[in-house]
Amino acid sequence: MHSLEQKLKGAFIISAVALSLVGLIFVHSAGSYWGQVHYADSSPFIVKQGVYMAISILIAFMMMKSPLTSHPTFWTVFYYITIVLLIAVMIPGIGAVRNGSQSWIALGPFSIQPAEFVKVALIGKLSCVMKQAKGKKVFKLSHFVLILLPAALIMLQPDLGSAVIMIVSAFVVLFLAGYPLTFFSLIGFAGIGAFVALIAAAPYRLDRIKSYIDPWSDPLGAGFQGIQSLFAIAPGGLFGHGYGNSRQKYLYLPEPQNDFIFSIIAEETGFIGATVVLLLFSALLVSAFGIAIRTKEFRSFLMTAGMASIIIFQTFLNVGVVSGLLPVTGVTLPFISYGGSSLLTTWMATGTILHFAFHKKTT
């Protein structure tokens, strides 16, 4: 048993570090030409991503070691700070608009995206307030307030992708805490209605659905990113064009170092390289949930599984989008896509999982 636990920890750490290194390598390749065109420099993305990675791993190490990580007060404070930041994003002069969404707070040359941080904060807070119960006793209105408040604020930006990831991960925590399957069936029907309402409220979402069904109906508009992503993936073949030899990064695929970086990985390393990346995520998933089920305290189990769910569901959503299996929505690929907020929060989730992996006797 002890040997298996060590293997799980080792597999989790190796997978996380390897994925971040893959990200560093391909942020450089994918963003080099974009950097030359927009910043007259091929290296701004790799330099910033290197700084983000160093800071993220340092904070993850601190969360792994600090007793505050298992303390409910920490997660309560963190949760409400992210709520304040989500409100601040909507204030003119504070929130910055990018790609049609007011989701960032500009801090000089850098910016933060509160929607990324609230995903981690919510899972931590929700795990702390949940109690192991059976049947109807598990239901509490406060659980839904914790989830719906940040979800509503994120949708006002609007940022459907982040809201969906956050809600699904929170529902994983509710399910593991004892919410019955009938509850999720009802939520599923309600979710379909809400989805239809969201499409009706913002016609561009309907355009995305149409472009998902038939991207060639609007190849220069709503279907553009999906088509260009497939133009990157399909020609990659078994071994790809070779590192640095992507064709789609030459302004065909917008900002290839961000949401569509997996397309560049598939183009340059082919089926083999893309499969290796997916296997690393699979190893991360198996080891994370292996760590979760071996925790000795219920809150630790919920938080570990919830943090793993954020990473894995976001990976599923991103890869589904770039491969044409899901409608286009702007979500990053954990560990790999360029961006400080995304990388930092992914490593915060990683540090939390490692905290409970190495400190089982938490209260």
Tens-place pLDDT, residues 258-294? 889 999 999 999 999 999 999 999 999 999 999 999 8
Residue 37: which pLDDT band, with cuts at 50, 70 and 90? Answer: confident
> What average pLDDT does this structure show over 242-266?
88
Average pLDDT of the segment spanning 74-98: 90
**203 has pLDDT over 70:** no
| CA atoms 149, 144, 319, 208: torsion sign | negative
| Predicted pLDDT of residue 202 | 64
Taking Cα atoms as reference points, which of 12, 14, 15, 9 lies closest to residue 280? 15
DSSP code at position 43: -
* Residue 268 CA: distances (Å) to CA of 323, 339, 354: 15, 21, 32
DSSP H helices, 202-339, are 203-213, 224-233, 261-293, 298-322
Residue 97: pLDDT over 90 = no
Average pLDDT of the chain is 87
Average pLDDT over residues 326-336: 88
Record the pTM.
0.90
94 band by pLDDT with thresholds 50, 70 and 90: confident
Cβ 150 vs Cβ 104: under 8 Å: no
For residues 319 and 183, give the distance between their C-alpha atoms in angstroms, rounded to a whole number. 29
Residue 314 CA to residue 142 CA, distance in Å, equals 25
Which has more pLDDT, 252 or 65? 65
Which residues, other chains included, contact 363 with Cβ-Cβ below 8 Å and sequence gap of 6+? 70, 297
Q: At what angle do helices 114-129 and 141-155 cross, to 10 degrees?
A: 180
Report which of residues 61 and 340 the model is more confident about: 61
pLDDT (average), residues 116-134: 85
- In this predicted structure, the answer to whether residue 199 has a pLDDT above a threshold of 70 is no
Residue 363 confidence (pLDDT) above 50: no
Q: Which residue has the higher pLDDT, 109 or 303?
A: 303
Per-range mean pLDDT, top range of 12-21, 149-158, 317-326: 12-21
Sort strands 110-112 and 95-98 into parallel, antiparallel or unpaired.
Answer: unpaired
Predicted pLDDT at 16: 97
Q: Please give the Cα distance from 39 to 45 (Å, whole number).
A: 10
338 phi/psi in degrees, rounded to 5:
-70, 140
Q: Are 219 and 227 in contact (CB under 8 A)?
A: yes
pLDDT score at 1: 53
